[in-house]
């Protein structure tokens, strides 16, 4: 169970992982992350627009996605190959590594919180920090990535009970507007103290 402490500090939301992490999992996970860093960065801040930021994601969400890529339930030419080579322990450890970072998400100066996409905030938050363990952060992901995933849910290429139903009703314009909202958030990934 991951608890989020959301602190509103003049437009900055701070999310901390309230559970203690096993030092061994974090250390072993850092080694596994050597395989991920060219695309996701060692701290989970991605350097290529098609790869998402994964630092500070809920650990359960990272585990779910790696298992989905490994089983073929979710497909991507790069990630499917990477995930097929991972053991259960490597998945748990690397998820713990990326999940152990703290993040801040800051809205652009001109953005008003009440303009956040109302269909999404219950689970993804106003700034794109997940409100539940099974949902991902969207803060600062590129609009290309968010757009691609929503269209994948809509077309059935990617499937999830909640998200497939939500995406089915979205138009291309709505997808673009929502993707732009979350992409405009400034994400910072911080090593925990
Ligand atoms: C060659 C580049 C590359 C490498 C190496 C790579 N990834 Fe990825 N990763 C991607 C791309 C691209 C996506 C987006 C896939 C999609 O569009 O569905 C992704 C998606 C993910 C996701 C899903 C995130 C989300 O928000 O849904 C996770 C988790 C992930 N990668 C973890 C890892 C881990 C852990 C490693 C190392 C063991 C790794 N990746 C190595 C490119 C890479
Ligand atoms: C009731 C909770 C809930 C609501 C409301 C919701 N989502 Fe989600 N969303 C989820 C969950 C859970 C997942 C993880 C799906 C999976 O495991 O594949 C997800 C995944 C996503 C992803 C994939 C991100 C990634 O990193 O791969 C995107 C994009 C997304 N949601 C956008 C939206 C948008 C846009 C809305 C509003 C129109 C929305 N969601 C509303 C729960 C929700």
Average pLDDT over residues 79-88: 97
Whether residue 60 is contained in a domain is answered as yes
Whether residue 49 is contained in a domain is answered as yes
pTM, whole model, 2 decimals? 0.91
- Per-residue DSSP letters for 37-88? HHHH-TTS--SSTTSPP-TT--HHHHHHHHHHHHHTSS--HHHHHHHHT--H
Whether residue 86 is contained in a domain is answered as yes
CATH number of the domain encompassing residue 50:
1.10.760.10
Average pLDDT over residues 73-86: 96
Cβ-contact 143, 180 below 8 angstroms: yes
- Structural domain range at position 80: 7-190
Average pLDDT over residues 42-57: 96
Q: Is 146 in the pocket of ligand 1 (CB under 6 A)?
A: no
Whether residue 23 is contained in a domain is answered as yes
Whether residue 53 is contained in a domain is answered as yes
pLDDT of residue 22: 79
CA of 172 to the centre of ligand 1 (A): 24
Ligand 1 atom 41: the closest Cα is on which residue? 36
Whether residue 2 is contained in a domain is answered as no
Whether residue 163 is contained in a domain is answered as yes
Cβ-contact 130, 174 below 8 angstroms: no
Give the closest ligand to the alpha carbon of residue 66: 1
Give the closest ligand to the alpha carbon of residue 68: 2
Ligand 2 atom 33: the closest Cα is on which residue? 120
Mean pLDDT over each residue of the chain, to the nearest integer? 91
Average pLDDT over residues 89-113: 97
162 has a pLDDT exceeding 80? yes
pLDDT of residue 10: 38
What pLDDT band is residue 193 in, cutting at 50, 70 and 90? Answer: confident
Domain count for the chain, please give it: 1
Q: How far is CA 10 from the centre of its chain?
A: 23
Which of 24, 17, 22 is CA-nearest to residue 1?
A: 17
CA of 52 to the centre of ligand 1 (A): 7
Atom number in ligand 1 closest to CA 158: 18
Ligand 2 atom 39: the closest Cα is on which residue? 120
Average pLDDT over residues 77-86: 97
Percent of the chain with pLDDT over 90: 85
Residue 93, token pair as written in the block: 């450890």
Whether residue 20 is contained in a domain is answered as yes
Return the exposure string of 137-158: e unless at least 16 CB atoms fall within 10 Å of the residue's CB, then b.
Answer: bbbbbbbebbbbbbbbbbeeeb
């Amino acid at each position: 169970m991951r608890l989020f402490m959301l602190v509103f500090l003049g437009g900055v939301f701070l999310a901390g992982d309230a559970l203690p992490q096993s030092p061994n999992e974090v250390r072993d996970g850092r080694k596994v992350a050597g395989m991920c860093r060219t695309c996701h960065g060692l701290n989970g801040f991605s350097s290529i627009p098609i790869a998402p930021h994964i630092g500070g994601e809920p650990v359960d969400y990272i585990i779910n996605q790696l298992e989905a890529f490994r089983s073929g339930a979710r497909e991507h030419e790069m990630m499917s190959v990477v995930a097929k080579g991972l053991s259960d322990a490597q998945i748990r450890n690397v998820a713990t590594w990326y999940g152990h970072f703290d993040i801040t998400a800051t809205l652009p100066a001109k953005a008003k919180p009440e303009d956040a996409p109302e269909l999404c905030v219950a689970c993804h938050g106003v700034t794109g920090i997940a409100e539940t363990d099974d949902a991902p952060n969207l803060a600062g992901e590129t609009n290309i990535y968010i757009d691609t995933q929503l269209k994948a849910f809509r077309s059935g290429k990617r499937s999830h009970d909640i998200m497939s139903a939500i995406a089915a009703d979205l138009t291309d314009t709505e997808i673009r507007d929502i993707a732009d909202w979350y992409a405009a958030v400034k994400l910072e990934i911080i090593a925990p103290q």
